[in-house]
Structure formats: structure tokens, C-alpha cells
Structure 1
Amino acid sequence: MTRTVRDATFDVLRHHQLTTIFANPGSTEVAFLTDLPDDITFVLALHEGSVVGMATGWATALDRPALVNVHTTAGLGNAVGALATARVNRVPLVVLVGQQDRRHLALQPFLAGELEGLAGNYPVWVRTPARPQDVPGAVARAWHEARAGRGPALVIVPSDDWSAPAEDGPVPAPAVLHRADAVDPVVVDELAALVAGSASPAFVVGADADDADTWHALVRLAERLRCPVWQEPFAARAGFPQDHPQFAGHLPAGRGELRQALAGHDLVLAVGAPVFRQYPYEEGPLVLAGTSVALVTDDPEDAHHSPADLAVLANPAAVCALLAERVPDRPDAPPPAVSRASAPAEPGDGEPLRAEHVMAALAARIPAETVVVEETPSSRPDLHRLLPARRPLGFLSAAMGGLGFGLPAAIGVRMAAPDRPVVAVVGDGSSLYGIQALWSAAHYGVGVLFVVLANGRYAIMDRLAAQRGGKPPWPGFEEVSVGGLAESLGCPARRVSDHAGLVAALDEVVPTLGERSRPLVLEVAVEPS
């Protein structure tokens, strides 16, 4: 039997552990997807945003690229917002995009697409192979590009390429490509001198510090310096244990409050975080005069657009470990003065539930290894204040800010890490951007607890309109039942509207999170804060 391009591509996918395909199928991919080999797993989602969101959660949990397949123009177009989130979250994806038959593309047939620019600059690499025989090499290259660029790499494959005969010979991409994480000690000298000479340093951490080695190095360094550690405001992941006594909280989003939070520090060292992502725009500098800013990152893009006095482009864990060896211990320095949020009082009889009550109830019950996936813009400050990340990957969100990430990402995380409890905390408005993902959770037996904060409106938008002194033109959507939608998609759901019902539901469900194989939507009626 003639060996085909499809056969050769499957060998490449096996070599790079890309044996789970997240997809919503289209006709231009039928030749690739029909009669998959037994060792290739197909995972269906009902919308391309959910496809990419699930793959993003999967790749985040496993720390390696995930494989996505999307249909030509419509499928890639539907996926663009989620691909943008994957890029800003620094998550590697290999994305196969279907295209019409190569033999009549010149005639612009039905379902042909202008695909190479459709996702804009969000892919880290895009390629349409010049010949069918170049497809396996392009897929191998995409795997390396996705890892190196930490984002989605796209390969556009005309439908007839899959059945073309493959070529014997080497694939034009390395079978193994190692990236050295070692840091030349000389590179750290200038940074160490700057830190050691600081009278009052502060740290700001971000998503690229979210791994066990970086947490360990940062804890040791912060404890030697007796300095506060802040989380940057829009990070997709936690860069430091948020139950540590030196964790100072999340930086405010506005420049004025940022300057106030960092006032009194002559050095701000950002680790795994850009300098600084603020919103909305406000006049004035990021930090006060007399405060130096240094940056440690392994992301060239962050290094190039951050206004830092000194930047080190290297592995954050390795740099911080060296710094902890080189900076002097400060045993006589007073510990940083950080405030701790206290749990809100339980609502009395007849008082409405608010998001803070839900966060406090979760914080009192979920185990430390829980992954909390957040997509509730109006309640995110309550979550940050009351529900700390205590383990690496304890918090996950969309750094891009676009909605539709939370539900599918939580499913992907749980599929990739079935030993970790996963709780998604999403707003009802946010849930509607990715509600189709609940079908996948139910169909594949993914035991995520989805806590949907239901206020029947876009509360964050209402708040922003009020801040401008105006009245919003958009209505509420109180008649939408997220629980009803979940059940229509085969996902169990229940609704609670008081504190007693909330506590009873959590006491029943939370102890089962580690081993449960059935998802649950807990729709919690809340009033905006």
C-alpha cells in the first residue's frame, strides 16, 4: 500500500505527542479525520472557540503543545478570538486549518478561503506547504514554532494533500530541539548589584512565573529581602503563592493607584510579568520618580515593550535562584506590611447573595491543589481578594480579556490533569460566549464544577457606564437560564439563590471534585456588589 502524506503526518504527530485532536469537523478535513488510527483520539466541541479554548486549557496543564483542527474560513474565523487568547496567554498550539482541494484553488471554489492573514498577527507562524509532500515537515516545524514562540502555529492543508503519496527521506525539521535554561552568572551580576543596593525593593510577578521552580526561587529570594510581592493585575496565572505572608495582593489597574501601591520602593523587580499592563489609560508615569524598574522574563516580546531600566531575557527560575544566592540576607529588616482580606459576614435572612459570599464559601472548602479558572469580570476583584492561588496552576484566566475562555479552558485542564480538582467561576454573561463547551464536558465525562454567578446583566459594563455618569443602552437578560441551557446540552445543573443553599451544594460537591466524572453547573443567583 502506498504511504500517504496523511500516514507520514500521523508519524510526526505521534513523535511530538500530538495524538489528541480538538476539533469541530468540516468538509475540507474529512480526508484527514475519517478512520483515524486507534492511537489518535478525537475530541469534539460544538464551536471553534470552544475547540481552541479546550486545547488551550489542555496545553496549559500539560505544558506542551496541543493539536487543533479547524475548518477553512468560517472555522478559523470563529476561532480567531480564542487564538488571540492563546497567544497572549503564551500557550503553544499546533493548528491544522482545512482548505479546498489544491487542484482548483485558482478558480476560488466554494469553501476556499484567504486563510494566511485571517488570524492577523496572533499566530506565531503560518504556513501553506508548497507541495502535499511538505505537509509532514510543516507540522513538525509548527510544533517547534509553537513551543519557541509560545502561541498558535498554523498549517493550512488543502484537502487533497492528505491522500498524496509521501516522500521517503528526512522531515525538514529537527526531531529534538532543546532550549538551554542555564543562565550565565555574569549576566546576573548587574541585576544582583541593583537588587542588593536597593533600600526597599518590591516584586511584581506574573503568569510566566507560574511553575514550581520559579515559585520556590521567588519565595527564597523574597524571604531573604523581606520585601512585598505583588501580582500584576491582568495576569492569566499566579506567579507566587498567594497565601504567603509576604504576598501583598494584586496591583490596581489604574496608573494613579499603581504609583501609590509601589510608592516608597526604590526598586521594582518584575518577574515573568510585563511592565506594566494597565487599564484604562490614565495620565502620568507608571512609577514615581526615584523608583527603578527591572525585569526578568523569558519572553522577548515582553522584554522589548516594557519600559524597564534593566531587563534580563532568561529563564526566570534560573535567574531568581542565582539572585537568591547572591543578594545578602536581611534578617533585621522588618517584614513587609501587607493587609489580609477577611471573609465577609454571611448574609442575613432576606439579604441577597453577592459574589464575595460565593468566593468566601469556595475558599473555605476547596483543597489547595484546585485549579480555579476565572471569567467573571465584575467579580474578579472579589475572587482575587478572597480565593488565593496556593499551588502552581492554582489560577487560570484569559490574559487577552476576551470572553468565551472560562468554560472550555476548565474542561481542557481537567482532561489533561484528571488528578486535580477544577472549579470554573464564570459570570452568566461570560458563560454565554462558550456555552457549547458544556456538551463536551458532559459527553466526555469531565468532572468540572462550573460556578456561574447569575445576575442577569453585564454588571461590569453597567458599572463602567455609571462611572461615566451615563445610562447604558443595553438591557438585562434575566430571562436567560444558564442552568436550563446546560441541561439542554446534557450537562447537569442546579440553581441556588440563598446562602444556605450555596453552602449545602458546595458541601456536597466539593469533596467529590478529585474523582468526579460528571460536570455540574451550579447557577448562583447573586446581586452585583
Structure 2
Amino acid sequence: MALDVRGLTFDVLRAHGLTTLFGNPGSTEISLLTDLPNDLTFILGLHEGSVVGMATGWAIAHERPAAVILHTTAGLGNAVGALATARVNRAPLVVIIGQQDRRHLAFEPFLTGRLDGLAGDYPVWVGQPTHAADVPGAVGRAVHEARTGHGPALVIVPMDDWTVPVEEGATLAAPDVVRSTARPDPDVVAELADLVNGASNPAIVVGSGADSPAAWTALTALADRLSCPVWQEAFGARAGFPQDHPRFAGHLPAGRAALRQALSGHDLVLTVGAPIFRQYHFEPGPLLPPGTRAVVISQFAEEIHRSPAELAVHADPGLVCAALVDAVTEHPEPAEPIRRKPVPIPPYEGLLLPEHVFTELAERLAPDTILVEESPSSRPLLHELVPAREPLGFVSAAMGGLGFGLPAATGLKMALPHRPVVAVMGDGSSIYGIQALWSAAHYGVGALFVVMSNGAYAIMDWLASEKGHGKAPWPQFTEVSMSGLATSLGCPAIRVTDLDGLREQLDAIVPTLGERTEPLLLDVAVGTL
């Protein structure tokens, strides 16, 4: 039988034991509450303060979340005082708030609620699902947010969402079970180990939250014990595993179809220090291949609460993985070892390409180099050709907006003056943070800024042409001189236009990076994609 949003949401509530619903209904909740299934009980309160108060007592008594249904602005407004009390009483509540029909919200019809923010800071979390299909996952996440935050978590749902059909096998943005442990609880470790030991072909996915010496040590030991591949999350801002390790399989793709293909054959994916899974362009279908189970370990609650995992562990990844090494059964080596395809390097024919720049850097950079990246069009090549070999070996902007690389590299070198710091930038990216060069020069920050100048937003040009969006309206900006901008800000700069010149400059500069106290910008002329 095909489910709709309402039916799937009821399944989520059942899974978490929220079968008693406290409410004072209005017209925006009619489609949710009429013809309730027999296993769900509705408790009427004659005022929203009573509704939330009863749910608060229920939650305190049972030491788990209680479910509340409120009616748009009037219902939430009447309940604010009681919600504040629930927060201070540390009572976990899952509060579903009705909203007018999504299809005409733009016209602000009668009973439209301006609901986000109406309860002030008292909710521990507020979710407004963008699409009807996101409602069940948002309710599931609210359960975990209420538990972790010890207070009311709100979900705002337009009234027409409840009858929208849900695609079979839809992925909900919430885990089934969350465990929290300050230190590795033996029972939690045993629960993790049972899932891992039950898998015949596990895989590990790592992310920025695993970028620490302790996590790297634990994860290399765990990967060896499981004889399994280790993938880096897509768009990871830091490396969660040594990328020159023989078990490193590469970076996960950011599209669902390619992601399923990459993880096909694995019956369990253990994700450490990252959510499941970061995407870029939307693609339909599930995140994981059919039959693949998912487990996530992260120290960040907001990551695990939106991860579609069978088990989510909110804890320090390094400590949990270190305990897990001794708890899991050793797996035999796979018949087919990991074989990463080498990146073809086009011959140099008078025009430098990013592949040439990265190859030359890889041959010279010390293992403890901190590589800061902000070159969107060539980032995949950089990952393949210049691996992170030590913790904090790779740093990038987690959000994706431009302007991070130059100032971040400057700050990293200020904080760690004896580690080599190299920023690999596009010229378009550099312009967003170019002012940081003045600070680098003024305060004697010896970072190397390698700016690949093509006078274009190469990633945007590629997206416009490859994705079939038509002719781009933006012009190139070849008249902008990165070396000229650098020198005007007091930062020494050298223009490089050929391979011999690049090699000469890198041979002179790279050996000095550990103790260098003067910044340098290499303005490297490269071809466009």
C-alpha cells in the first residue's frame, strides 16, 4: 500500500513510541487528526497551555519525548508560556504546528501563521520542511533534537502536506536510533560492533570531524582490522584519513547515482565525522544502494540528527573508533584490493594546466604541509594529485562560498608558524579575500599563495555549458592582475607563465616554508577548462 506523508509520519511516531498525541485542534490539523489509526490516542486539552502542560508531565514521567499538536499562530501563541516552562523543566517535546495550505501561502490567506520565531528562544529546534516529502524526516529529527536538547522541538507543517504521496523507499533525513556517550560506553560500542560484525563487506566514510591525530590512528587501525576501503566525504572541509594510505579509496561523488555506484557491494557503511551524505546537485532516488545499512559517528548533533542511519552515535569519533577496533572481528583481505586509477597528466605544450601545477607541488611539499584549497574548478584534481598525509593537512571552506582561502591560510600560518602553509587558489576566489594579503605582509606571515589565474570563473563556465544551461552572461576578467593586486597590498608576488618558471620558483620557495616570515604570491597563468 502506497504511503502518504501522514501515514509515514505516523510510522515515525510509532517507531519512537510517540503514540499519544496531546492537542487542541483547529482547521489546519483536520487532515492530520481525523480517522486516526486505532493504535494512536488523542488527548484533548481545552487550552494550549493545558495541552503542553499535560505533555510536559507525560514526558517527565516517561523520561522520553511526548507529542503535541498545535493550531497555527493562535495555538502556538497560546502555548508559548507552557513551552518556556517545558524548556526550563528540560522536558523533551515534539511539537507539530499546523500551517495554512502550502499552495497559497504566498497570498497569506486566513490563518496563515508567521510561526518561526513566535516562541522565541524556547524551542531547542524549529523545522520548516521545504517539501511535503521532508515532513516525516523532520518529525524524526525533532525527536532526536528534543532528546538531545532536553526541550521542545517544533515542526511547522502546511495542512495540504499530509495527503501528499511518498515515493516508495524515500530516504528520511533522520536516524532511526541515536546514542549519546561522553566516553565510549561499552554497551554502545557493543551495539556498533554487532552491526559491523554482521556485515560481510563494510566500508568506512570519513569527514572533517575525524581530522585529528587520535581519529586518524583509530581509523587506520579499524580499516586494517576490517580490511575495508575508506572514502572521504564529498566536499569535506578537512581530511578524515591519511590519503596516501593503501586503503584510501578516494573522495565520494556528490550525486546520488554515482554515490550508489561507488558504494555498491558494501552491505554496511560506517560514516565517521561526517553526516550521511553531503550532496550538490539534486538527483532522485535513495542515497545508498538497496540493502546497504548505514551507521554514523559524529561529535556534532546537527550532523547525526539529519543523517538517514540505522544507528547514530553522538560521541567523539576518535575515542569511539579506538574502542571499536578491539570489539570487531578481523575481516579477511578482499579478493579485489583497492586500485585507484592514476590521473592522466596531459603533456606540457606551452600552456600550464592545473594538473601541471599540482604535480609539481606534490613532488615538493613536505608531509606536514597544511594545504588550503579554494579552486572550485580544479578541486577534484587537487584531491587526486596532492593527498593530505597528516592531520590538518587539508583545509577548505565547509560552506562553499568564496573568500575563505586567503585569510584562512594567513590565520593558520599565524597559529602554526613552523608548519608549511600553502594556499591553492583560483583568481576568481582570491579576489573575494585579497585584502588578507595586507595582513599577511604586515604581520610577517610566511604562507605561500599559489593563485591559478585564468581570468574567469571556470567552475561557473563549466556548469553553464556542461549542464546545458546555455550561454553564460558574465564576461572574463583577464585584465585583473593578481600579482599587481598583491604588490599594491604590500605582499611580494611573482608572475609565472611556463613550466620551467614554476619549477624554479617552487624549488626556491618550498624548502623555506617551515620557517618563512614573509608571504609570497605566485601568480600562475593557467589555461581554462
TM-score, with length taken from structure 1: 0.65
CA contact 2:181–2:315 (8 Å) conserved in 1: no
Aligned length, in residue pairs: 355
Match of 2:514 in 1: 514
Determine the C-alpha separation between the residues in 2 that align with 1:288 and 1:333: 20
Pairing of 1:287-302 with structure 2 (within 5 A): 287-302=288-303
Determine the C-alpha separation between the residues in 1 that align with 2:336 and 2:326: 20
Determine the C-alpha separation between the residues in 2 that align with 1:379 and 1:207: 20
Per-residue deviation at 1:415?
A: 0.3
Pairing of 1:31-430 with structure 2 (within 5 A): 181-334=182-335, 336-342=337-343, 344-348=345-349, 350=350, 352-430=351-429
Look up the equivalent residue of 1:466 and give its one-letter code: S
3-state SS of paired residue (2:432): coil
Determine the C-alpha separation between the residues in 2 that align with 1:430 and 1:374: 10
Look up the equivalent residue of 1:490 and give its one-letter code: G
3-state SS of paired residue (1:273): coil
CA contact 1:227–1:335 (8 Å) conserved in 2: no
Determine the C-alpha separation between the residues in 2 that align with 1:233 and 1:240: 13
* 1:76-135 superposed Cα distances (whole Å, 9 cap, x missing partner): xxxxxxxxxxxxxxxxxxxxxxxxxxxxxxxxxxxxxxxxx9xxx9xx99xxxxxxxxxx
The structure whose Rg is larger is 2
Look up the equivalent residue of 2:203 and give its one-letter code: A
Per-residue deviation at 1:196?
A: 0.9
Look up the equivalent residue of 1:486 and give its one-letter code: A
CA contact 2:189–2:327 (8 Å) conserved in 1: no
Per-residue deviation at 1:528?
A: 2.3
Determine the C-alpha separation between the residues in 1 that align with 2:262 and 2:527: 30
CA contact 2:464–2:472 (8 Å) conserved in 1: yes
Match of 2:438 in 1: 439
Look up the equivalent residue of 1:375 and give its one-letter code: E
Per-residue deviation at 1:188?
A: 1.4
Determine the C-alpha separation between the residues in 1 that align with 2:411 and 2:227: 38
Look up the equivalent residue of 1:264 and give its one-letter code: G
CA contact 1:227–1:336 (8 Å) conserved in 2: no
Per-residue deviation at 1:468?
A: 3.1
**CA distance 1:181–1:418, shift in 2 (3 Å):** farther
Match of 1:479 in 2: 479
Per-residue deviation at 1:335?
A: 6.2
Per-residue deviation at 1:297?
A: 0.7
Per-residue deviation at 1:211?
A: 0.2
Larger CA deviation: 189-198 vs 236-245: 189-198
CA contact 1:271–1:296 (8 Å) conserved in 2: yes
Per-residue deviation at 1:346?
A: 4.4
CA contact 1:246–1:335 (8 Å) conserved in 2: no
Look up the equivalent residue of 1:522 and give its one-letter code: L
3-state SS of paired residue (1:452): strand
Match of 1:495 in 2: 495
Per-residue deviation at 1:180?
A: 8.4
Determine the C-alpha separation between the residues in 2 that align with 1:448 and 1:477: 26
Per-residue deviation at 1:210?
A: 0.2
3-state SS of paired residue (1:425): strand
Determine the C-alpha separation between the residues in 2 that align with 1:246 and 1:451: 30
Match of 2:112 in 1: none
Look up the equivalent residue of 1:363 and give its one-letter code: A
Per-residue deviation at 1:358?
A: 0.6
3-state SS of paired residue (1:408): helix
3-state SS of paired residue (2:472): coil
Look up the equivalent residue of 1:215 and give its one-letter code: W
Determine the C-alpha separation between the residues in 1 that align with 2:270 and 2:427: 37
* 1:35-69 superposed Cα distances (whole Å, 9 cap, x missing partner): xxxxxxxxxxxxxxxxxxxxxxxxxxxxxxxxxxx
Structure 1: 5+ residue stretches without partners: 1-116, 126-147, 150-178
Determine the C-alpha separation between the residues in 1 that align with 2:498 and 2:306: 47
CA contact 1:452–1:524 (8 Å) conserved in 2: yes
* 1:153-178 superposed Cα distances (whole Å, 9 cap, x missing partner): xxxxxxxxxxxxxxxxxxxxxxxxxx
Match of 1:457 in 2: 456
Determine the C-alpha separation between the residues in 2 that align with 1:441 and 1:340: 39
* 1:415-454 superposed Cα distances (whole Å, 9 cap, x missing partner): 0001100000010000000100000000000000000010
Determine the C-alpha separation between the residues in 2 that align with 1:275 and 1:383: 24
**CA distance 1:180–1:306, shift in 2 (3 Å):** closer
3-state SS of paired residue (2:451): strand
Determine the C-alpha separation between the residues in 2 that align with 1:342 and 1:466: 23
CA contact 2:413–2:446 (8 Å) conserved in 1: yes
Look up the equivalent residue of 2:359 and give its one-letter code: A
* 1:247-268 superposed Cα distances (whole Å, 9 cap, x missing partner): 0000111111111100110011
Give the number of the structure with larger relative contact order, counting CA–CA contacts within 8 Å between residues 6 or more apart. Answer: 1
CA contact 1:353–1:499 (8 Å) conserved in 2: yes
Residue 525 (1) aligns with residue 512 (2): no
Structural RMSD (CA) = 2.1
* 1:274-330 superposed Cα distances (whole Å, 9 cap, x missing partner): 100111111111011100011011110001011111111111111111110011112
Q: Which runs of 4+ in 1 moved over 6 A?
A: none
Per-residue deviation at 1:240?
A: 0.1
Look up the equivalent residue of 2:204 and give its one-letter code: F
Structure 2: 5+ residue stretches without partners: 1-116, 126-147, 150-179
3-state SS of paired residue (2:452): strand
* 1:195-231 superposed Cα distances (whole Å, 9 cap, x missing partner): 0111110111000000000000000000011100000
**CA distance 1:364–1:345, shift in 2 (3 Å):** farther
3-state SS of paired residue (1:208): helix
Per-residue deviation at 1:331?
A: 4.0
3-state SS of paired residue (1:364): helix
Determine the C-alpha separation between the residues in 2 that align with 1:215 and 1:493: 36
TM-score, with length taken from structure 2: 0.65
3-state SS of paired residue (1:432): helix
Match of 2:72 in 1: none
Look up the equivalent residue of 1:499 and give its one-letter code: L
Determine the C-alpha separation between the residues in 2 that align with 1:392 and 1:227: 21
